[in-house]
């Protein structure tokens, strides 16, 4: 009986490697958020009534002269503090520039002031953001980096998520060689309540691409923004 030719795993009878289906390179995903749909949002009147309820719960009378306008002012303040839910962070980075004369060194924007609110107590988070990236083929206007910080800071936040959202959005929009983000902030949820520890500075970072894999690149960025513990707190 004729012996059948053997077939090795991964090779055809001819000895040539078996063809494999092409796999598409995964794209970086932008941070996902699920803001409340407009149809589900309470009305302004309902929001103001909720403020009156809180004033009564605190022990005061929302009908007294000094508090009569407070519900409306609080609603308007919320519109300003949480305006970031209405904006798309990736769209904010749409305008890029390719005429860079081959510039491929680090781009750093440091000391971007951020004002946000803790999602656990709605207490202020005040601090600074430092952003760096290594361009691959194009750059983005520096005002867009500040705008990215503004969009995410105008949402209820924890600092760790805020840091990742900035880095991941910039990475998804520009596809650079690397992205680095450092955030330094004070949290009023622990300085004005709870443990009452003022003067504490929280530092978070996210390093992607070359900033994660190359120690020298990461050190250069950290040297450029300085040591957070020796600089003036927000």
Can you give the pLDDT at residue 19? Answer: 44
pLDDT tens digits, one per residue of 45-77:
999 999 999 999 999 999 999 999 999 999 999
Distance CA 11, CA 221 (A): 48
Can you give the pLDDT at residue 25? Answer: 42
Residue 14: pLDDT band (50, 70, 90) is very low
Can you give the pLDDT at residue 98? Answer: 85
Residue ranges covered by each domain of the chain: 43-81, 88-229
| Cβ-Cβ contacts under 8 Å for 119 (sequence gap 6 or more) | 156, 157, 158
CB 188 within 8 A of CB 195: no
Q: What is the rounded average pLDDT for all residues in the chain?
A: 86
Q: Does the pLDDT at position 5 exceed 70?
A: no
Q: Which residues are catalytic?
A: 118-121, 159, 187, 189
Domain 43-81 class, CATH top level: mainly alpha
CB 30 within 8 A of CB 171: no
CATH no. of 88-229: 3.30.1130.10
pLDDT tens digits, one per residue of 73-97:
999 999 999 999 999 999 999 888 8
Can you give the pLDDT at residue 39? Answer: 64
Residue 137: pLDDT band (50, 70, 90) is confident
């Amino acid at each position: 009986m004729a012996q059948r030719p053997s077939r090795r795993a991964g090779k055809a009878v001819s000895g040539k490697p078996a063809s494999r289906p092409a796999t598409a390179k995964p794209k970086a995903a932008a941070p996902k958020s699920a803001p409340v749909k407009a149809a589900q949002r309470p009305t302004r009147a309902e929001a103001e009534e909720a403020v009156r309820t809180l004033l009564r719960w605190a022990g005061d009378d929302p009908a007294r002269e000094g508090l009569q306008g407070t519900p409306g002012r609080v609603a308007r303040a919320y519109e300003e503090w949480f305006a970031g839910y209405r904006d798309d962070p990736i769209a904010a980075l749409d305008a890029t520039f390719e005429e860079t004369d081959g510039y491929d060194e680090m781009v750093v924007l440091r000391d971007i002031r951020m004002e946000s609110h803790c999602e656990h107590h709605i207490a202020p988070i005040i601090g600074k953001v430092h952003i760096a990236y290594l361009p691959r083929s194009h750059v983005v206007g520096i005002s867009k980096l500040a705008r990215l910080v503004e969009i995410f800071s105008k949402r209820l936040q924890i600092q760790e998520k805020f840091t990742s959202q900035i880095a991941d959005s910039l990475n998804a929009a520009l596809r650079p060689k690397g992205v680095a983000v450092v955030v330094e902030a004070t949290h009023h949820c622990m300085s004005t309540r709870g443990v009452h520890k003022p003067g504490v500075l929280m530092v978070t970072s996210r390093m992607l691409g070359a900033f994660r894999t190359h120690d020298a690149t990461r050190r250069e960025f950290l040297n450029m923004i300085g040591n957070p513990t020796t600089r003036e707190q927000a």
